[in-house]
Amino acid sequence: MKIAMIGTGYVGLVSGVCFSDFGHEVVCVDKDPEKVAMLERGEVPIYEPGLDELMAKNVTAGRLSFTGDLEAAVKDAEAVFIAVGTPTRRGDGHADLTYVYAAAEEIAEAITDYTVVVTKSTVPVGTNRRVKQIIHKARPELDFDVASNPEFLREGAAIDDFMRPDRVVVGVQTARAGAVMDEIYRPLFLREFPVVTTDLESAEMIKYAANAFLATKITFINEIAALCERAGADVKQVSKGIGLDGRIGNKFLHAGPGYGGSCFPKDTRALARIGQELGLPMQITETVIKVNDEMKRRMVDKVLDLCDGSVNGKVIAVLGATFKPNTDDMRDAPSLTIIPALVGGGAKVRVVDPQGLTEGEALLPGVHWIDDAYKAVQNADAVVLLTEWNEFRALDLKRLAKRMSTPRMADLRNIYSPKDAKRAGFDAYVAVGREGFDWSGDQGG
């Protein structure tokens, strides 16, 4: 099939590349001439493992191309996907649909024959009906349908998620649109991956409900972790014990400094706003947002306590700045709360992150970026493990401790254990929801 993908951000580019790998003819459209030129040169503007090779493969095969000409891309397409940004709108927490509606207006002017206009962007309930109204108002004579096809891509594992999904969700109004979507996803039908076909509103709601539930699960275990610290329990053992219950499952039960990224913060805020507008407050979701913000600030207190109550004049090495491993995404990352608090407290902060430098330089002023963990801890007063990149999962802790001025560790991802840290020569170690130790002060062992 011929597909036009409007927007080459994270969702649009990954989806366009993967659709072309299904065998479809895909044209990806972007308004930014520099970005289009970059993609035409084979350069990927985002970090996603394996995306550059897959993109090159399909460009070479003639199935994938890039352009700034929306009209030409849409003209002969059987399906047009809207995959533009829906950032949180300032002031009210709602998803900003400006780009979605602008794309709908441009698509309306470019359509010639029957086309299915598919919203891939994450949008509030009712958006697809509004897209249909916009197109119909602009061109009442057009033969078209709209469809909702929310994405469920994890950054760092997006290609595998697209090719081997837990499910594909499709919202349609007509059997004709359903048939087009079936054809697009035929390769997944043949491999018997679940495809949920429903109405527009249900498809839109599934996306928000799924992300809010996962955010709730993360926040729940983080709150339990705080309780474990007071009660003397180990959250890793608690997570294992409850995760073995098939009704609960073990995913998203890893205690840490709070969720971040491009989806959970934005989508929980949007869901809360939808509830307010419809007169039914989403009380659980609103509490999740509040508690998650508190968890990030609580991590700052952990580092301060590790440093005897003050980081003023101290050198702190932070390992990891992106919100999760295998991405360069810094959006709503815990580091954006924790690191500025340390800098504001007078600390000299050194940051190591395999992919965070490009975005991080602008977002985290006043820090020093270093490319190696062992260099970063030289004469440092504390090291903070903030993102669980593979590079930080098997560090030589003895080597770290020997290089530090005062070997103290805040392990905010529970990568190591008090036993590991003690054996390596650390004077103090704190984690999340687990017992630590402090030999550096008067607290004893």
- The alpha carbon torsion through 55, 56, 57, 59 (nearest 10 deg) reads 80
Answer whether 424's CB lies under 8 Å from 397's CB: yes
Side-chain half-sphere of 277: how many Cα atoms within 13 Å? Answer: 13
Q: Which tokens in the block code for residue 45?
A: 């503007």
CA–CA distance, 11 with 158 (Å, rounded to integer) = 9
CA–CA distance, 297 with 222 (Å, rounded to integer) = 13
Distance of CA 314 to the CA centre of its chain: 32
Give 220: exposed, middle or buried? Use CB within 10 Å, 0-12, 13-18, 19+: middle
**b or e along 55-83 (b: 16 or more beta carbons within 10 Å of the residue's beta carbon)?**
beebbeeebbbbbeebeebbbebbbbbbb
Q: Which tokens in the block code for residue 39?
A: 């993609």
What sign has the CA pseudo-torsion 253, 256, 261, 264? positive
Looking up tokens 């295998």, which residue turns up? 326
Q: Does the active-site annotation cover 263?
A: yes
CA–CA distance, 238 with 128 (Å, rounded to integer) = 42
| Rounded (to 5) percent helix, strand, coil in the chain | 45, 15, 40
Helix axes 127-138, 200-231, angle to 10 degrees: 150
Looking up tokens 């039914």, which residue turns up? 280
Catalytic residue among 18, 228, 263, 307: 263
CA–CA distance, 317 with 350 (Å, rounded to integer) = 5
Q: Which tokens in the block code for residue 152?
A: 């469920």
What residues are annotated to the active site?
Answer: 263
